[in-house]
Amino acid sequence: NAMFSWQRSAYHFQPQKNWMNDPDGPLYHKGWYHLFYQYNPDSAIWGNITWGHAVSRDLIHWLYLPLAMVPDCWYDINGVWTGSATLLPDGQIVMLYTGSTNESAQVQNLAYPANLSDPLLLDWLKYPGNPVIVPPAGIETDEFRDPTTAWLGPDGTWRITIGSRFNETIGISLVYQTTNFTDYELLDGVLHAVPGTGMWECVDFYPVAINGSVGLDTSAFGPGIKHVLKASLDDTKVDHYALGTYDPVTDKWTPDNPEEDVGIGLKVDYGRYYASKTFFDQDKQRRILWGWINETDTETADLKKGWASLQTIPRSVLYDNKTGTHLLQWPVKEVESLRLNSTVFEEVLVEAGSIVPLDIGPATQLDILAEFEIESLESNTTDEVSDCGDGAIDRSTFGPFGILVIADDSLSELTPVFFRPVNTSDGSLKTYFCADETRSSKANDVFKQVYGGKVPVLDDENYNMRVLVDHSIVESFAQGGRTVISSRIYPTEAIYGAARLFLFNNATGVNVKATLKIWEMNSAFIRPFPFEEPL
């Protein structure tokens, strides 16, 4: 459908057609990255959930493979739902996933590759003794899903955790212990619980190195390690994480800062983003984060265009040892292989209340690095806006300033990505990083929001952002990845050759100087695997 084809991304993973949601069981095996995903083979809306499967050498170029698992047993006949992979020391691969049963109960099932010597892992076997875990007493049978990757405890037995809900509103994660992945014991208590956060979907639990140097295997523990607990909140459709300490003897996790606990503090991504999952890349010693980016147009539009959803560019995740309070997310370095010609702009003055065009040619596929310095103070101070406000039109003394992506020449459509430093009562500045979709499209039937959150900017730092633009998706990273925002936008004018890039400064009291390096991005090869014989 030509009308919608502009919205397809050029270098983000998306299915050839139909509906996709959560990333499932990501892993690296014999030279290939594997991505499985919640997939409806029949339609561009959710339903008939199977596991789609794709492989890549570099996390950027992908080959679609045949479906890995379909709902064909009583214990998953209503859907092969989300799950995670565990690589065992002897080379076995264990896949645990949630099945929605013939009675729509949520149970956990075991599957494994039929042939480990196949780098493509084409065939998957479901364990004949499935389900291996059923909902325990006191838990609603339809609030018990998405098992994590297993980790090995110091006692030599494996553990997994599964999100749920207790007493209607308390988000919890249960811990199960196993030696063989077929028999499980529910441990007393929970890994963690947070009142008021509701059902926890897609829990992720993993260690990070405090020195911020490398990614860690999921079983790593000991001094110099913190643990991240992430839950996807079913009530608000937001992925929240917190940093804390895991006690492998009691199997309890404690947040560093109870006021920033899971579900009430930091978001993995402040934009359109959900059901994220990490895996440890044993080849490159890094932890990689996937996240699902849904559409924000109508179901009717999705059916017309014939597909729905994207995955983010995979991000490496490290602990930010400069703040000690945040993770750092950064697009995997392989995405830089798509960089084509670049343009540099140095110390461009952007005066308070002005817009500066950046003449870079085509602006639909970009990788943008931008750094801003507050240049001079004007006398013009304004009432403060306390956060992202109503978007880029909302002026305050020190912000907003940033870039306008996917804008047309006449600025009838534009998406500002910006910083807003705000004065606080103690005289220091607190900074918000925001993406404002409200003027991104002339279409009325798309969801447009002002997204954003706080970002720590340390004394010796400039304001810096990296922004990946790919047609209808914009992924924005502030301060090296402390705060991240993914947006979906559906312009009607600012498409193909009409898309432009601008600098803007809508502060009332400061001029800024911007230095940028902008690459045009190539498209990735994302296509069916070229099997020699019909399957």
Q: Which of 18, 40, 82, 309 binds ligand FRU (CB under 6 A)?
A: 82
Within residues 112-131, the interface with ligand FRU by CB under 6 A covers none
β-bridge pairing 62-69 and 526-528: parallel
Tokens found for residue 144: 């018990």
Q: Shortest gap between Cβ of 145 and ligand FRU (angstroms)?
A: 5
DSSP state, residue 314: P
Give the per-residue contact string, 155-194, with ligand FRU (x = CB under 6 A; - = no).
----------------------------------------
Helix, strand, coil percent content, the chain, rounded in steps of 5? 5, 50, 45
44-73 footprint of ligand FRU as x/- string (CB under 6 A): -----x------------------------
- Output 234 or 320, the one with its CB closest to ligand FRU: 234
CB of 274 to ligand FRU, least distance (A): 6
Q: Which of residues 249-288 bind ligand FRU (CB under 6 A)?
A: 274-275
Q: Can you tell me the distance from the alpha carbon of 117 to that of 525, in angstroms, rounded to the nearest whole number? A: 26
CB nearer ligand FRU, residue 76 or residue 394: 76
Which residue, 231 or 392, has its beta carbon nearer to ligand FRU?
A: 231
9 interacts with ligand FRU by CB under 6 A:
no
Smallest gap from Cβ 275 to ligand FRU, in A, equals 4
Residue number, 145 or 192, with CB nearest to ligand FRU: 145
Helix (H) or strand (E) holding 4: helix 2-5
Distance CA 533, CA 181 (A): 35
Q: How far is the CB of 21 from ligand FRU (least distance, A)?
A: 5
Contact between 231 and ligand FRU by CB under 6 A: the answer reads: no
Angle value at C-alpha 117, between 111 and 119, nearest 5 degrees: 85
CB of 165 to ligand FRU, least distance (A): 12
Rounded CA separation 520/425 (Å)? 42
- Return d(Cα 181, Cα 159) in angstroms, integer: 9
Instruction: Tell the smallest beta-carbon distance from residue 234 to ligand FRU (Å).
Output: 7
Give one DSSP letter per residue of 135-202, joined into a string.
PPTTS-TTSEE-PPPPEE-TTS-EEEEEEEEETTTEEEEEEEEESSSSSEEEPSS-SEEETT---EEE
Report in angstroms how near the CB of residue 82 gets to ligand FRU at its nearest. 3
Q: 98, 109 in Cβ contact below 8 A?
A: yes
Nearer to ligand FRU, 144 or 432 (CB): 144
425 phi and psi angles, rounded to 5 deg? -65, -30
Residue 296: CB minimum distance to ligand FRU, A: 16
Contact 493, 443 (CB under 8 A): no
| The binder of ligand FRU chosen from 28, 94, 109, 146 (CB under 6 A) | 146
What x/- string results for residues 188 through 227 when contact with ligand FRU is judged by CB under 6 A?
-------------xx-------------------------
Distances (CA, A) of 102 to 50, 71, 73, 153, 401: 15, 10, 9, 34, 54
Q: Nearest to residue 401, comparing CAs of 500, 513, 309?
A: 513
Number of residues located near ligand FRU, criterion CB under 6 A: 13
> In this structure, what are the phi and psi dihedrals at residue 89, rounded to the nearest 5 degrees?
-55, -30
* Given 7, 14, 98, 431, the residue binding ligand FRU (CB under 6 A): 98
Bond into 136 cis (ω within 30): no
Q: Which residue from 11, 14, 18, 22 is in contact with ligand FRU, where contact means CB under 6 A?
A: 22
Sign of the four-CA dihedral 358, 364, 366, 370? positive
275 vs 465, which CB is nearer to ligand FRU? 275
List the one residue out of 246, 81, 70, 78 whose CA is nearest residue 147. 81
Nearest CA-CA partner of 354 in 513, 490, 462, 123:
513
Tokens 């950064």 locate to: 330
Tokens linked to 460:
């010796």
- Please identify, using beta-carbon distances, which residue of 109 and 511 lies nearer to ligand FRU: 109
CB of 79 to ligand FRU, least distance (A): 6
Q: Which of 145, 192, 454, 471 binds ligand FRU (CB under 6 A)?
A: 145
Closest approach of Cβ 386 to ligand FRU, in Å? 32
- Cβ proximity to ligand FRU: between 36 and 519 the closer is 36
| 274 vs 401 by CB, closer to ligand FRU | 274
Q: Which of 7, 9, 38, 56 binds ligand FRU (CB under 6 A)?
A: 38
Single-letter code of the amino acid located at 9: S
* Residue of 22, 234, 436, 470 with catalytic role: 22
Using the 8-state DSSP alphabet, how is residue 78 labeled? T
Alpha-helical regions (H) of 294-403: 299-305
Q: How far apart are CA 157 and CA 150, in angstroms?
A: 10
Options 19, 81, 158, 270; binder of ligand FRU; rule CB under 6 A: 81
Q: Is 22 a catalytic residue?
A: yes
| For ligand FRU, the closer CB: 51 or 477 | 51
Catalytic residues: 22
Residues forming contacts to ligand FRU in the complex (CB under 6 A) are 21-22, 38, 49, 81-82, 98, 145-146, 201-202, 274-275
